[in-house]
């Protein structure tokens, strides 16, 4: 590979960090059930330990996203334990995720619930989650809502929008300087007729209504089939409203498959839009890259390592696009050369350069091989196996 291209890849990898989800190390499944894994994590300490293994072999995952109900069983009282584990395992607490969908009170919604007492309960949980983030020095609070309805005529859509605006504005007022509120959207599930925040436009309007520290979070699985996600990314970038990603892949709907397993070119195109924007604006976009996947069949840690290495490859490929040539080709409506710039970058084998970069950082050239040879998987499978296989455990 040309030295110039290798330099580009090195430069891109220096700035690329991806956050791991604590729940990705636990036993997960579908509404029909789950297949248990001997090595799955069932405690927050095991999640930190597993995340540390991924970071040790990849070097680019210094933080773990946390789910308030699943990882903070005692609410604010759990903060001290989380801080202790973060120090022990060298993994920072990342994005804080409130849980506004699991409690029985949220059967008819949280921020969109017709009962003001339940809306206040949800808002208090949001306040507590923001305070947890402040105590742990976590910048981002990520809101995803299951709110919606299943049948026409059963919910006041415009009224629920107003309730969301009120609650998000109130939650935004609790943010500390430098904290961000990320608002996620999803077209359907568990609500099947209407979802209160169903697409990026709704999330954008609600973020603007909430306040200047609110941005939009894009989950790559939360789109209709064949939707042009990179166009959404480009629009949010142009509006200064793209806050972060939940990366995964999907074949049909929100399948939560490992990144790039179905359509790696789509993820490449998303990265390209981000890097093209940064080239044009001569500055780095402030985007939180996070993983959100459900490893129902794949080994938890192995799937996470696979996702991170694929993300690195696709980000490195996107960095090779010649932006100056591309801009000129677009301006001149020179279609084939313009498209070829992306195709050529995507077809480049960047793995040798990434291996060089890893070795220059004192990291293993092959993260998966290094992990499998470490003996960690065998040890935790033995330690956790009897417990995991004797009970269905909790979702998280």
Residue 23's SS3 state is helix
Report the length, in residues, of the chain: 396
pLDDT above 60 for 136:
yes
Average pLDDT, rounded, for the chain: 96
- E-assigned strands of the chain? 20-21, 29-30, 33-34, 63-67, 92-97, 140-143, 148-149, 180-184, 194-195, 214-219, 242-247, 288-291
Q: What is the pLDDT of residues 48-63, one digit of tens each?
A: 999 999 999 999 999 9
pLDDT above 50 for 85:
yes
pLDDT the model gives residue 1: 67
Is 3-389 a CATH 3.40.50.300 domain?
A: no
Nearest to 323 by CA among 365, 274, 377, 392: 274
pLDDT the model gives residue 76: 83
275: alpha, beta or left, given left = phi > 0 and alpha = psi -120 to 50? alpha
Average pLDDT score over residue span 269-286: 97
The Cα-based distances of 200 to 129, 172, 283 in angstroms read 23, 19, 24
d(CA 386, CA 370): 26
Question: Which pLDDT band, with edges at 50, 70 and 90, does 394 fall under?
Answer: very low
pLDDT the model gives residue 396: 45
pLDDT above 90 for 88:
yes
Joined together, the tokens standing for residue 145 give 């809502």
pLDDT above 50 for 372:
yes
pLDDT above 60 for 17:
yes
Task: Work out the angle between the directed axes of helices 44-58 and 79-89 (0-180°, nearest 10).
Answer: 30
Nearest to 392 by CA among 4, 35, 95: 35
Average pLDDT score over residue span 336-353: 98
Q: What is the pLDDT of residues 373-392, one digit of tens each?
A: 999 999 999 999 988 877 65
For residue 220, the cross-strand partners are none
What percent of the chain clears pLDDT 90, i.e. is strictly above it?
92
Domain boundaries of the chain, sorted by first residue: 3-389
At 337, phi and psi to the nearest 5?
-60, -40
Global model pTM greater than 0.75: yes
pLDDT the model gives residue 60: 98
pLDDT the model gives residue 395: 41
């Amino acid at each position: 590979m040309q030295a110039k291209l290798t330099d580009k890849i090195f430069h891109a990898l220096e700035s690329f960090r991806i956050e791991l989800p604590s729940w990705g190390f636990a036993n997960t499944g579908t509404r029909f059930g789950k297949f248990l894994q001997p090595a799955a994590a069932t405690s927050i300490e095991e999640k930190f330990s597993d995340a540390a293994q991924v970071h040790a072999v990849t070097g680019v995952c210094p933080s773990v996203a946390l789910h308030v109900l699943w990882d903070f069983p005692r609410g604010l009282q759990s903060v001290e334990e989380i801080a202790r584990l973060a120090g022990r395992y060298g993994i920072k607490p990342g994005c804080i995720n409130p849980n506004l969908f699991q409690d029985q009170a949220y059967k008819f919604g949280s921020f969109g619930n017709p009962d003001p007492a339940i809306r206040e309960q949800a808002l208090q949980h949001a306040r507590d989650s923001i305070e947890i983030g402040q105590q742990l020095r976590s910048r981002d609070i990520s809101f995803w809502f299951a709110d919606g309805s299943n049948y026409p005529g059963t919910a006041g859509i415009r009224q629920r929008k107003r309730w969301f605006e009120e609650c998000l504005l109130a939650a935004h007022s609790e943010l500390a300087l430098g904290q961000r509120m990320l608002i996620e959207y999803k077209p359907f599930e568990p609500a099947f007729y209407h979802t209160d925040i169903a697409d990026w436009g709704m999330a954008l309007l609600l973020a603007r209504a909430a306040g200047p520290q609110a941005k939009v979070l894009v989950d790559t699985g939360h789109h209709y089939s064949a939707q042009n996600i990179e166009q959404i990314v480009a629009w949010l970038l142009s509006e200064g409203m793209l806050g972060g990603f939940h990366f995964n892949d999907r074949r049909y709907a929100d399948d939560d498959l490992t990144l790039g397993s179905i359509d790696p070119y789509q993820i490449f195109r998303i990265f390209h839009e981000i890097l093209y924007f940064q080239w044009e604006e001569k500055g780095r976009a402030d985007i939180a890259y996070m993983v959100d996947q459900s490893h129902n069949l794949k080994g938890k840690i192995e799937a996470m390592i696979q996702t991170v290495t694929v993300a690195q490859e696709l980000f490195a490929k996107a960095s090779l696009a010649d932006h100056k040539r591309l801009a000129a080709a677009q301006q001149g409506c020179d279609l084939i050369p313009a498209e070829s710039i992306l195709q050529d970058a995507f077809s480049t084998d960047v793995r040798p350069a990434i291996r060089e970069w890893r070795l220059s950082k004192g990291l293993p050239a092959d993260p998966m091989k290094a992990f499998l040879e470490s003996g960690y998987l065998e040890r935790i499978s033995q330690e956790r196996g009897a417990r995991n296989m004797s009970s269905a455990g909790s979702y998280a």
